[in-house]
Structure 1
Amino acid sequence: MGDDLEEITKVKQFLDNQFKIKDLGNLRYFLGFEVARSKEGLVLSQRKYALDLIEEAGLLASQPVSTPMVPGTKFPALTDQPFSDISGYRRLIGRLLYLTNTMPDLSFAVSTLSQFLSTPMKEHHEAAMRILRYLKQQPGQGLFFSADSSHKLTGFCDSDWASCVDTRKSVIGYNLFYGSSLVSWKSKKQSTISRSSSEAEYRAMATTVCEIQWLLYLLEDLQQPIQKPVGIVL
């Protein structure tokens, strides 16, 4: 990437001399990602990928739902109803994980269900089907990157203390914005048990700070000025 068209052309010519590449112009579709450009900015989505996923599951005629997971749902690791198609469940969760690249709202639900890949239960599979029904509502939903975004990083983080019914570990989550554009997000169960809600919040903040520091190094390499200090909202 760069802002010097002459230098970019030289790099393309060098690559063509070495590997015989073909310049296809502005990116529009790549590995399931669809890119739409306008004067306002850039939209990144996976509409066709999501629709193919819904069709393969046989849910094109199903009733859509408004949330990817029923609020407050707690999944135990084991119940008395194991799911027989373990490989099918793993394949579905893997494809949903890829979809979180443009749909951050799926991150918590998919991260939760990915914890049961070794021994999935029927209720885990039913929850995965609910995510597909949620996708049916807006399969083309994606990320918008504004063309006039400000050079400011802002972080939001939170934790759900001791939410895992089996391990009592907490779940953390964060969103990082570059101006008005969402550029990084995560939902993950903590690796250790927090002994208080305050400790869980501090761990969530520490994880967010690590990601912010990595983004600052990246933006520095890209020679992008950043307003400091970076704000974090708990």
Structure 2
Amino acid sequence: MVLPPGFKSDKPNQACKLLRSLYGLRQASRQWNVKLTRALQAAGFKQSSADPSLFTKAKDDAFLALLIYVDDILVAGTSPSQIQSLKQMLDDAFKIKDLGTLNYFLGIEALRTPSGLHLCQRKYILDILAENGFLDSKPSNTPCVTGQKLTNYEGNLLAKPEVYRKLVGKLLYLTHTRPDISYSVQQLSQFVDKPRDSHLTAAHRVLRYLKRSPGKGLFFPSTSQIKLQGFSDSDWASCAETRKSITSFCIYLGDSLISWKTKKQATISRSSSEAEYRALASTVCEVQWLVYLLADLQITITESIPIFCDNKSAIAIGENHVFHERTKHIEIDCHVVRQKVCEGLIKLMAVSTLQQTADGFTKALPKILFDNFHDKLGIRDIHAPAYGGVMKQ
């Protein structure tokens, strides 16, 4: 810091005492979060232990929820009068700017209709296409070539790797509303340190897929049931270089997809059953977290949550305590599956590979199977003529 002009003091070695947090300082965002949290807690709000950015308040049959991202706040509630009181309290304390009904938040477009809530990132996608020169490109039916295996050695190193890194970073953020490209982006993100032209070509394939329908996004129907169910899957030793497997899962609340993941496992699995069991462990942990989060939203899950897996051996390991020879080398934390089965939180169910929704998060599917996978995700294009919209490229 620089002393203000005209400041004079006869005492040497004086220090300035910071009375306010300034933008640009390392502690600015932390101090802002502390002050906002104290103000909300003083107003009767409770900070969620499952998600610290969520604050809830229940009073007299009314319920309020706040979701905070730095200084951007989403407010939802059952009482308009209490929402107005909350906004007045925040305005008195911080001088807020009320933007009205939710329609655009952090690059995500939201549209509420009597049938439900639609979230998409159409403008974000069009900006990516324009930046990379793909607005007039030929659309692709799938985000990646079936059976394609990217490696660290095929192709030439890019002269400007920052172009690839920037593109992959934007595609990662896009997966918040486009789970259909999650597997492709997971594959691309493994090569950001030393990208090659083959990796950039694969990334361009994703752009051509997005060009086909930039207005697609997640749809959350208003009539959906409050019932959790999950799908867990794994692709054993799919990485040609490390022989590690891929963990994937997707979890639904009623008919709405609310959580999904595709990630390379940290260790090598000795069998497909072990790889599936590790994927089940990740799914169970996510389900447990969602149960805690729903409890903060005044929603109690009383029934056992079904988790569908297409590997009967993995289900047997999760339900049977006698499989010592097969499981003694597996880490203890993976056996959280058995614990939650015994507690009644989850119920393991067998499902065929063709009906396994999470299969599309583990591998590149051909067009027919990919279209089936796409339909199960609940993705809609609200800008398409079929939904009353008009496509504008």
Q: TM-score, normalised by structure 2?
A: 0.58
**d(CA) in 1 for partners of 2:137 and 2:172?**
22
Question: Which residue among 269, 275, 289 is the counterpart of 1:200?
Answer: 275
Once structures 1 and 2 are overlaid, which stretch shifts more, 218-227 or 179-188?
Answer: 218-227
Q: CA offset at residue 31 of structure 1? A: 2.0
Partner of 1:226: 301
Alignment counterpart, residue 138 of structure 2, candidates 57, 63, 70: 63
Q: CA deviation at 1:80?
A: 4.6
Q: Work out whether residues 155 and 198 of structure 2, in 8 Å CA contact, stay in contact via their aligned partners in 1.
A: no
Secondary structure of the equivalent of 1:22?
A: coil
In the alignment, the residues of structure 2 paired with residue 219 and residue 42 of structure 1 have an alpha-carbon distance, to the nearest angstrom, of 18
Q: Which residue of 2 aligns with 1:180?
A: 255
2:185 to 99, 102, 110: 110
Using the TM superposition, give the Cα deviation of residue 228 of structure 1 relative to its aligned residue in structure 2, in angstroms: 1.7
Counterparts of 2:302 and 2:285, CA distance in 1:
17
CA distance in 2, matches of 1:63, 1:142: 21
8 Å contact from structure 1 (residues 151, 227) kept in 2? no
Identity %: 54
**Higher mean C-alpha displacement, 76-85 vs 59-68:** 76-85
CA shift for structure 1 position 227: 4.7
Asked whether the 8 Å contact 2:244–2:265 carries over to 1, the reply is yes
Runs of 4+ residues deviating >6 angstroms:
none
The equivalent residue for 1:19 is: 94
Question: Residue 5 of structure 1 aligns to which amino acid in structure 2?
Answer: P
Q: Number of residues paired by the alignment?
A: 234
Q: In the aligned structure 1, how far is the partner of 2:133 from the partner of 2:255?
A: 37
- Deviation, structure 1 residue 226: 2.5
Matches within 5 A, 1:144-155: 144-155=219-230
In structure 2, runs of 5+ residues without a counterpart are: 1-64, 66-76, 310-393
Letter of the aligned partner of 1:150 in structure 2?
Q
Which residue does the alignment assign to 2:125?
Answer: 50
Q: Deviations over 1:72-128 (max 9, x none)?
A: 111112235112211111000000001000000011000111000101111100000
Gaps of 5+ in 1: none
| Counterpart Cα distance in 2 of 1:144 and 1:79 | 39
Post-superposition CA distance 1:175-224 (Å, at most 9, x none) = 11000001001110001101100000001111011001000000001101
**Superposition CA RMSD, Å:** 1.0
C-alpha displacement of 1:157: 1.4
Q: Show CA shifts across 1:46-86 (max 9, x none).
A: 00100110111111111101100111111112235112211
Is the 1:156–1:176 Cα contact (8 Å) retained in structure 2?
yes
Alpha carbons 1:161, 1:194 under 8 Å: kept? yes
Contact 1:151–1:225 (CA under 8 A) maintained in structure 2: no
Describe the SS at the equivalent of 1:105. helix
Distance 1:227 1:179, change over 3 A: farther
Mapped partners of 2:112, 2:239: distance in 1: 41
3-state SS in 2 of match to 1:17: helix
Q: Is the 8 A contact 1:45 1:141 kept in 2?
A: yes
Q: Does 1:128 align with 2:197?
A: no
- CA–CA distance in structure 1, aligned partners of residues 280 and 195 of structure 2: 31
Structure 1 residue 164 corresponds to structure 2 residue 239: yes
